[in-house]
Amino acid sequence: MKNIILTLVFILLVSTLLACDTCKKYNNNDLQIIKASITHDATIASTIWEIHVKGQAGKTTPAPVGKLHGAPVLGYVFPTTLQPTDVGFSYTEGIVALALTSHPDFDDTPLWDENSDLIYDNDGIIWHPHWVILYKDERVEGGLSVKQFKKTDPTVKLPPTNPGMPMYMDSPGFQVVTNKSSIKVIIPDYRIQNKTDFKFDAVSAYMQVNTEIKDKPMLGVYKVYSVLSKDLSLPYTVKSK
């Protein structure tokens, strides 16, 4: 884990010097993180994950491109020291992260109706959470991607709420709430194997879907807008309420 984090630190520092044209238009105060916290509340047996930004959290959402290939994704991301098995994956190398995302061109939460219109496949733009495994990937400018696997690999285990893609991704259905500078989500303890002693960081990023180019990841990070710790050292700890 330590070697993976050190490698990702280098990649993220380099990526701050790079930018794609599409990425630039989303680089505003709504994606500039000023503080973050994860608080354990024993009275409700849950952890409260929260990010604060300079602007209005969640106000900036991606402009649709009208197709899946090249679809933009914005995310507020909590990289953690949790293990893949803590959130329902089989063990694999990489960093377990909770990504709060918005993407208007597709819906990858087939079990959940985030906009409450009784249609389950039309609300990708509504901010929603994913568990993902992040892995270093020099094929994209941001140096990271969601880790993929072969569909035929019998050793891969995903939570039953996964969206059916060949990536270490889950759509757990936790409600995401935005309010002024804050975006937060509440996670029941049992959904993370009752772990409350892990460390974390907070990142905002631009990601993009690829379904056509063989030498690019299916979901890559193309721009990192903000890293709370500055060096992705995951220095923050869960506090008790």
Residue pLDDT, tens place only, 202-213: 999 999 999 999
Q: What is the mean pLDDT of residues 222-232?
A: 96
Q: How far apart are CA 66 and CA 204, in angstroms?
A: 23
CA 121 to chain CA mean position, Å: 20
For the purposes of burial, counting CB atoms within 10 Å of the CB of 3, is it exposed (0-12), middle (13-18) or buried (19 or more)? exposed
Please spell the DSSP secondary structure of 39-98, one letter per residue.
EEETTTTEEEEEEEESS-TTT--PPP-SSSTT-EEEEEEEEBS--GGGGTPPP-SSEEEE
Q: Is the pLDDT of residue 10 over 70?
A: no
Q: What is the mean pLDDT of residues 179-186?
A: 98
What's residue 2's pLDDT? 53
Supply the pTM of this predicted model.
0.91
Q: What is the mean pLDDT of residues 157-173?
A: 97
What's residue 23's pLDDT? 86
Least confident of 6-15, 24-33, 101-110, 132-141: 6-15
What's residue 21's pLDDT? 74
Residue with the two structure tokens 């140096």: 143
Banded model confidence at residue 22, pLDDT cuts 50, 70, 90: confident
233 SS3 class:
coil
Would you say 117 and 76 are in contact if contact means Cβ atoms under 8 Å apart? no
Would you say 111 and 127 are in contact if contact means Cβ atoms under 8 Å apart? no
Q: What is the mean pLDDT of residues 80-89?
A: 98
* Better-scored residue on pLDDT, 12 or 24: 24
- Model confidence over 124-143: pLDDT tens digits? 999 999 999 999 999 999 99
Structure tokens at 158: 């995903």
Q: How far apart are CA 145 and CA 80, in angstroms?
A: 16
Structure tokens at 143: 């140096």
* Better-scored residue on pLDDT, 133 or 8: 133
Would you say 105 and 123 are in contact if contact means Cβ atoms under 8 Å apart? no
CA 14 to chain CA mean position, Å: 20
Q: Is the pLDDT of residue 195 over 90?
A: yes
Q: What is the average pLDDT score of the chain? A: 92
* Per-position b or e across 61-84, b if 16+ CB within 10 A of its CB: bbeeeeeeeebbbbbbbbbbbbbb
Would you say 205 and 223 are in contact if contact means Cβ atoms under 8 Å apart? yes
